[in-house]
Amino acid sequence: MTALSHTAELMRRDQVWPFLQPPAASINVDKDILLYIEDLNLSFDGFKALNNLNLYINDGELRCLIGANGAGKTTLMDVITGKTQCDSGSVFFGQTINLLKYSEADIAELGIGRKFQKPTVFEAQSVFDNLELALKSNKRLLPTLLARLSPSEIDRIDTVLATIGLTDHRFQLAGALSHGQKQWLEIGMLLVSEPRLLLIDEPVAGMTAEETERTAELLTSLAGKHTVVVVEHDMEFVRSIARTVTVLHQGSVLAEGSMDHVQNHPDVIEVYLGEAP
């Protein structure tokens, strides 16, 4: 960009300078949309991971993202949570907060929680400590140093432990849990942080049928209070929880709608089955 275009950007009349903005802009969902993703582009060495992606997530909905490998599902989550910088486009949380300007830690503090594809819990610490770390609290240095668990916080952790079925494993090291239990613990870590938006990457990978069923129940119960975006390959699972499904293909949205609508969509059939309808 040239100096001129920088100046033009700086002098745009439809936005105020960052230092004039109120420090903690609250999330504005007047239009009932929590996440606005517009014209998002990202390429890795010429490979377009995201290609003019447009996606709107309503406040309080449960949205499933599906798509083949390399469709850009995880990359999209990386961009939303600040792990990866995009080339162009905009991501707004509510109407006012431009997520592209924030770091990972800031975005987490704004209320976006993420569960990774591979369960990443802190294996050397107890289940309880894992949840304590994830607790919604002031995460600056000194408050953390002087932090003490209040009874209500302990109750909160206790409730979540009951929800994820790990009450008996409270003081066990997280590393000693089974794969499915780690997945649950990670979901629990999301719950105690009370996020506004949950991004959940492949929650049922490696779970038994029964565990999958319980996960589905849990996620459906979360919608409404929280906004949930789930990335999943397991079509059965998606069918059991989904109200709205978005199909991604080669970095852009291919189809969107109810599961039946999506499955009968000619483009989806063409991409998935490789033949014209």
Partner 1 sequence: MSLLTTFMSRRNSLGSPVLPFVTILMTLTVLAAIGNLWIPADSALHVSTYTITLLGKYLSFAMLALAVDIVWGYCGILSLGHGAFFALGGYAMGMYLMRQIGSRGVYGDPILPDFMVFLDWDVLPWYWLGMDQFWFAMLMVLLVPGLLAFVFGWLAFHSRVTGVYLSIITQALTYALMLAFFRNEMGFGGNNGLTDFKDLLGFSLQADTTRVALLLCTAGLLAAIFMFSHWVLKSRFGKVIEAIRDGEPRVRFLGYRTDRYKVALFVYSAMIAGIAGALYVPQVGIINPGEFAPLNSIEIVVWVAVGGRGTLYGAVIGALLVNYAKTRFTALMPDGWLFMLGALFVLVTLFLPKGLAGVYGQLITSWKRGRNRDEPPQRNQEATS
Considering only 40-48, 50-58, 111-119, 220-228, which stretch makes contact with partner 1 by CB under 8 A?
Answer: 111-119
Q: How is residue 187 written in tokens?
A: 């979901």
- Near partner 1 in 84-103, by CB under 8 A: 103
Name which position in 29, 41, 83, 159 contacts partner 1 (CB under 8 A). 83
d(CA 187, CA 274): 36
Name which position in 28, 48, 116, 252 contacts partner 1 (CB under 8 A). 116
Considering only 30-38, 48-56, 110-118, 257-265, which stretch makes contact with partner 1 by CB under 8 A?
Answer: 110-118
d(CA 180, CA 119): 9
Query: Residue 108, interface with partner 1 (CB under 8 A)?
Result: yes
d(CA 64, CA 78): 16
> What angle, 0 to 180 degrees and rounded to 10, lies between the N-to-C axes of helices 179-192 and 127-134?
30
Distance of closest approach, residue 142 Cβ to partner 1, in angstroms: 9
d(CA 265, CA 270): 9
Name the DSSP letter for residue 26.
Answer: P
Site string for partner 1, 118-157 (x = CB under 8 A): --x-xxxx--xx--xxx----xxx--xxxx-x-x--xx--
d(CA 109, CA 138): 9
Coil, helix or strand at residue 66: strand
Name which position in 9, 32, 38, 104 contacts partner 1 (CB under 8 A). 104
Name the DSSP letter for residue 10.
Answer: H
Residue closer to partner 1 by CB (options 129, 270) is: 129
d(CA 16, CA 28): 17
Binding site for partner 1 (CB under 8 A): 81, 83, 103-106, 108-109, 113-114, 116, 120, 122-125, 128-129, 132-134, 139-141, 144-147, 149, 151, 154-155, 158, 171, 189, 193
